[in-house]
Every structure is written in structure tokens, then in C-alpha cells.
Chain A
Amino acid sequence: MSSVEQTVPAQTAKPVARLSLLPRDWRAQTAMGVVLFLGAVVMLAPFLWMVATSLSRKANSSMPRTPSLWPPDPSFFNYWVATANLPIVKLYINSLFIVGTTTVGYLLFSSIAGYAFAKGRFPGKTFLFIVFLATLFIPFETRMIPLYLFIRDFHLNNTYWALILPFLAGGFGTFLMRQTISTIPDDLIDAARIDGASEFRIFVSIVLPLCKPTLATLAIINVIWRWNDVLWPLLVTSSRDMYTVTQGLALAGKSSGVYTGVALATAVMAILPVIVAYLFLQRYVIRSVISSGIKG
């Protein structure tokens, strides 16, 4: 009896407590909303100001003392100057080609090595896996100068090879793919083996389709990495026709620094495609970052 008496007030107490919280909760919701909204304004303001300034021809000679989010003299003048200064179309082609090939290669080599490490049986597997994992602990900056000298000695400077080859395989991708492929039941793979499928066939038609979410994660992260990388392109390419978009922006930003409008127009052109792609894919991008813990 006593236990029943104890549970009944506990059950009714909960909704009562919630009801009494409601007005306070409503106030808390508003307060949090206001704070978060103001934060979002701070995050967006530099972007909006940059676009507004890039659309103003006068921005190159004199800027208003009070910042404005609307150009006083809207025109695309700065964009014409920026495209005349930089072969921007060529830079886009370079960046798209490099990002595309490295992403396809990185996904392929990461997943095929990940498959071998997850499901293969061969002598030296643990040792080789440790070799792959060890590369995770070697920051790119440590090997950048010898790598540059190596590329130079093979006369690969100013070629796509220099921008693609070093980024085709990596410990992070292999590790992530191995973890994913390990979760595929062995029975599924054994069944295909009994049916006479070759390991490569199993990899292509069973393993890869089951890894789509991880492959998407890896692709998104690699695209962000490669699109935004500037250190390596600065080292291995010196001819304007080989620049990536980010690199072209870095160099143009330095040389046209006095022309505020032109420099900002270049920056807008460099980041607009990424932002548009992000707005369409934001759900997947954010999910990728959460599942891998890696940012762009």
C-alpha cells in the first residue's frame, strides 16, 4: 500500500513541475534565441559587408567611415577588374580537377586498403596497418620541405602531378574505411566467396555500396581540405596557369591589397562556390564533421 501511495504523487508531481516551468521556460527560450541570433549576426556581418564592398566601385578609392551593408554605387566593376587580373576560369578548372582526382583517388585507395586491413588474412597485416596508422602522427609540415625537393628533382613542379600525387593515399582515410568495413558481417563476404566472386568483385559490388555514408564523409572532408589548401600549392606551383583558386586568391589579395573592392571581389569569387555547395549539402557536411571529428 505504502509503495502505491509513494508512486502516485511522484507521477502527478512531474507534469505539475513542468507546468510551473512553462512561463520561465518561455522567457529562457526568448533570451537564448536573442543571444544566438546576435551571434549569428556577428558571424554573417563580415560576409555581407564583403559582398557589399565588392560591389562598390568607390570602395577602391574611399570607404565610408560608417560601414554599410549596401553598396552606394552598385556595379560589377571590381569583378571585371578581378577577372582581368587573374585567369579565374582557369583557376576554377585547376581546382576542380585537382579536388576531383584527389578525392576519387583518396576514396579508392583508402577503401581498398581498408578492405584488406579489415577482412584480409595475410602475413604482416598488423605491421603494415601500424605503418599506415603511424602516418597519422606525421604532420604535413614535417615532411613538406623534403617532399618539395623530391618533387622538384623529378621536375614535377608546375604540373598537376605535384598537386595530386602526394594526396592520393593517407592513414586517416584508410583507418576510417577499415573501421567501417570491419562492421560488415563476415558471412556476407563468405557467401559471395562461395558463389565464386573474386575479392575485387566483392569489394566493388558488396563492400563499397555498404560504405556509402563513410565514403560521403571522406569525400566531403577531402574536398574541403584540398580546396582550401594553400601551403602546398604555394610551394610547387609558380606559374599563374597552375594556380588553384585559393592560391590565386592569396597572391591576388597581396598584390591588389590597396584596391579594397577588387581584392574583396576576388575573395567573393573564390568562396562563393563552396558556400553555395555547402548550403545545399549542409546536412551531410555537418554530419560528416560529427562522425569523423575532422574539420575542413
Chain B
Amino acid sequence: MESGSKTSPGDPGSLRSRLARAFRGTMVWYSFLAIPLFLIMVFVAYPTALAFRDSFFTETPAGPEFAGLYHFRRLLTSGIFWGALGNTILLGVAFLGITIPLATILASMLNRLRRGSTPLKVIYFLPQLTSSVAVAIMFNYVFQPDWGLLNGTLHALGFQQLPLWLSDPRLTFGGSRAAVTLLAVWAGLGYFIIIVLAGLQSIPTDLYDAAAIDGASPVQAWRYVTLPSLRPTFIFLIITGSIDALSRFGDLWTLGGPGGSPARSLQSVVMFMFQQGFESNDYSLAAATAVVFFVIVLAITLFAFRGFLRNEFKAIR
């Protein structure tokens, strides 16, 4: 300040007050950020750092002891972990593989329908608002083998050999994994339809006019105009859908407990983490799971974003 006033003898007071004003002008932004930044540091950054640290240490009565990659070795040689990861991926792939095509077909119809599309949209989206726990409780009874809504209806329609659904841990089309996939499709379809609808409405109508002039039938226009134009929408749904599928917890936990019964057929990665951390009190193994989980989610995000952005920028150029 002193030297500043000396170098500009012309108007020292105004320089000082200008600096003070600039300082206050900067401080006000820091004061705006102070509380949010503090909350993010304490509740996001710090626990994340701890999860990474804990995965390399073993808790002993004398304090944490460095364990190197020991917990990761334990994790990656655990059949239960691989089972949980395999389940999570299998359920995620099955869910996306059914939901994206189904949602695209239904959204295309909703988009062309002249009357009644709003109430239909509202109905399709309804399960999305229902918590995964409530959906799981409902479907626990829907899938009841003797009198549940599904088997009861199938029986009334004359089917005799009925699947056991949630009581059957085998990997079949009538087993527990098929049941929770149906549940997930039912619950998630509305969101996918809404997003595909938004994508459909952003397709320029000239493309359809051009296709009509070229003599394309509505189905051909759908195949050669609509589907390629929806590519960004599909990529978005695959990214967010994979991350959601990896984090699946609430419904499977309600149906099968932390162990994902029957016979661990419904255990997901997050349930495995929950079980290690809070039932076996093996925080280090849980932390190692958290780190592996983080790496997988990050890899999906970066991989998808890179591929996605590269192609989109090419298209713009």
C-alpha cells in the first residue's frame, strides 16, 4: 500500500480506495463460496479421500497399519465379490437391452399419437416417482408364485407350468434375476420414454419431409431418419443407465437383504460393500470395494464421454 502510494503520487487516496474496493469485490465472491465449498470439502472430498486411504490400511487396536494392496488382493480373489459384480453387470445389461428398444418404440408411438399422449406419458412415468423400496415391496407380492398378480393372471389365462420368480435363484427366464429385471424395466421405462421423446422432438422436421419426398414409408423414415438421429440420446441413456445400474441397491436390498437371497443371486456390488462394511465390520475391504466401484464408474463416464464428444465434434465440423 505504502509503496503503491509512492509510485503514483498523483492520487494516492483514490488508488488505496480502489485497491480496497477491488479487495472487497474479490472477497464477496469467496464469501459466497465459503459455505458450499466447506460442505463439499467435509462431506464429499474428505470422505472420498478417506475411502482411498482406508483401502490401503488395516485397522488394528494400535492404529491403522499400512497394508499395501492386500485388501485389493483379498477383494479380487473373493468369489462373492465377483459374483456380486457379475450380477450387477448382468442385471444392468439385461435392463438396458430391454428398456432402450422398448422405450424407443413406445416413445415413437407416443410422439405420433394425436390424442391422449399426455395422460399416457403421466402413467408410464408414474413408477419412476415411486421409491425403489415401495416398488420392491409391491413386486415381492406381484411375483408370489401361487397367487401373485403375475402368476395369478397367467394361471387364469390357462398356463399351468408357472415360474417361481423370486424363489428360484437359477439363472433362467423365470428366476430371481429375471424377476428383478422385469421390476426394473417396469420402474424405469417411463424415464427412458420421456428422454427418448425429448430426443424425438429435437429432430428437425425437414429430415422427414426429405424422406417423404424420396418416397420413404413411415417405417423406413423411422429406421433411416429417427434411429440415427437419436444416437446422442441413446449414448446419454447408456451412460446414465450403466451408472445407475452399477449403483443398484434399494430394491434388491428390500427383496433379498444385504446377502441378496436367494443364494446371493440378487447381490449387487453396493450390497456387497454394505455387507462387508456394516455386517462384517470389515471397513478396509469395503473401502477397497468403494475404490474399485469408483474406478469402474469413472471409466464408464470418461470412455463414454470421450467417444461421445469426439463424434459429436466431428459431426459439427
Q: How far is the CA of A270 from the CA of B137 in the complex (A)?
A: 11
**What's the interface size class on B, roughly?**
35 or more
Q: A28-B218, A116-B33, A174-B36 are in contact. Are A270 and B131 (CB under 8 A)?
A: yes
Interface string of B92-105 (1 = CB under 8 A from A): 00000000000000
Count of A-B contacts judged by CB separation below 8 Å: 277
Contact A278 B290 (CB under 8 A): no
Q: Are A146 and B287 in contact (CB under 8 A)?
A: yes
Chain B residues with CB under 8 Å of A263's CB are 137, 140-141
Complex contact A65–B147 (CB within 8 A): yes
- Asked if B126 CB lies within 8 Å of chain A CBs, one says yes
A29 close to chain B: CB less than 8 A? yes
Asked if B249 is at the interface of the complex by the 8 Å CB criterion, the answer is yes
Interface flags, B222-262, vs A, CB<8A=1, else 0: 00000000000000100010010011011001100100000
A235→B278 contact, CB < 8 A = yes
For B120, list chain A residues within 8 Å (CB). Answer: 36-37, 39-40
Say yes or no for B297: interface residue by CB 8 A criterion. yes
User: Is the Cβ of A17 less than 8 Å from the Cβ of B33?
Assistant: no
Measured CB to CB, the closest approach of chain A to B164, in angstroms, equals 16
Q: Which residue of B lies closest to A48 (CB)?
A: B149
Cβ A199 vs Cβ B28 within 8 A? yes
A260-296, CB < 8 A from B: 260, 263-264, 266-267, 270-271, 274-275, 278-279, 282, 285-286, 289-290, 293, 295-296
Which among B45-53, B71-79, B168-176 touches the partner chain?
A: B45-53
* A130-167 contact mask (Cβ, 8 Å, vs B): 1 or 0: 01100101111111111111100000000000000110
**Nearest CB in chain A: distance from B105 CB, A:** 9
Q: Is the CB of B32 within 8 A of A113?
A: yes
| Cα distance A266–B131 in the bound complex, in angstroms | 13
- Any B CB within 8 A of the CB of A77: no
Q: Closest approach, in angstroms, between the C-beta of B143 and any C-beta of chain A?
A: 10
Q: Within 8 Å of chain B (Cβ to Cβ): is A121? A: yes
If A49-B149, A64-B147, A115-B32 touch, does A249 touch B294 (CB 8 Å cutoff)?
no
**In the complex, A92 has a CB within 8 A of chain B:** no
- B residues in contact with A246, CB < 8 Å: 131, 133-134
The smallest C-beta distance from B275 to any residue of chain A, in angstroms, reads 12
Asked if A32 CB lies within 8 Å of chain B CBs, one says yes
Given contacts A145-B273, A267-B138, contact A116 B32 (CB under 8 A): yes
Q: Which of B186, B236, B291 contacts A46 (CB 8 A)?
A: B186
Contact indicator A289/B113 (Cβ below 8 Å): no
Contacts of B39 in A (CB 8 A): 109, 165, 168-169
Q: Which of B114-134 contact A (CB under 8 A)?
A: 114-116, 120-134
Please report the C-alpha to C-alpha distance between residue A138 and residue B247 in the assembled complex, in whole angstroms.
Answer: 12
Q: Decide if B294 touches A250 in the complex (CB within 8 Å).
A: no
Q: Most B CB atoms within 10 A — which of A170, A174, A247, A295?
A: A295
- Shortest distance from the beta carbon of B177 to any chain A beta carbon, whole Å: 19
Q: Bits for A174-189, please: 1 = Cβ < 8 Å to B, else 0.
A: 1000000000000000
- Interface stretch among A1-9, A83-91, A208-216, A224-232? A224-232
Residues on A with C-beta less than 8 A from B47 are 143-144, 146-147, 150
Q: How far apart sit A282 and B139, CA to CA, in the bound complex (Å)?
A: 24
Is A67 on the interface with B (CB-CB < 8 A)?
yes
Residue of A nearest to B278 (CB): A235
A138-B140 in contact (CB<8A): no
Bound form: Cα–Cα A278–B152 in Å: 30
Within the complex, what minimum Cβ distance (angstroms) separates B197 from chain A?
Answer: 8
Q: Judge whether B236 and A293 touch: CB under 8 Å.
A: yes
Give the distance in Å from the alpha carbon of A47 to the alpha carbon of B286 in the complex: 37
B131 & A249 in contact (Cβ 8 Å cutoff): yes
Interface status of A128 (Cβ within 8 A of chain B): yes
B85 within 8 A of A: no
Inter-chain contact B134/A270, CB cutoff 8 Å: yes
Q: Of the candidates B40, B54, B127, B290, which one forms a contact with A169 in the assembled complex, judged by CB atoms under 8 Å apart? A: B40
Residues of B within 8 A of A290 (CB): 194-195, 197-198
- For residue A256, give the distance in angstroms from its CB to the closest CB of chain B: 10
Check if B26 sits within 8 Å of A286, measured CB to CB. Answer: no
Select one of B26, B115, B146 contacting A122, CB under 8 A: B26
A residues adjacent to B (C-beta < 8 A)? 17, 28-29, 32-33, 35-37, 39-40, 42-47, 49-50, 53, 63-67, 109-110, 112-113, 115-116, 120-123, 125, 128, 131-132, 135, 137-150, 165-166, 168-171, 174, 198-200, 203, 224, 227-228, 230-231, 235, 246-247, 249-250, 253-254, 257, 260, 263-264, 266-267, 270-271, 274-275, 278-279, 282, 285-286, 289-290, 293, 295-296
- Interchain residue pairs with CB less than 8 A apart (16): A33-B116, A35-B106, A120-B28, A120-B32, A122-B26, A128-B37, A131-B37, A135-B44, A138-B48, A138-B294, A142-B294, A145-B290, A150-B47, A169-B36, A230-B132, A290-B195
Knowing that A230-B133, A286-B125 are A-B contacts, what are 16 other residue pairs whose CB atoms are under 8 Å apart, sorted by A's residue number? A39-B120, A44-B126, A46-B149, A66-B155, A109-B39, A112-B32, A113-B33, A141-B293, A142-B51, A142-B291, A144-B290, A171-B44, A228-B132, A250-B250, A289-B195, A290-B195
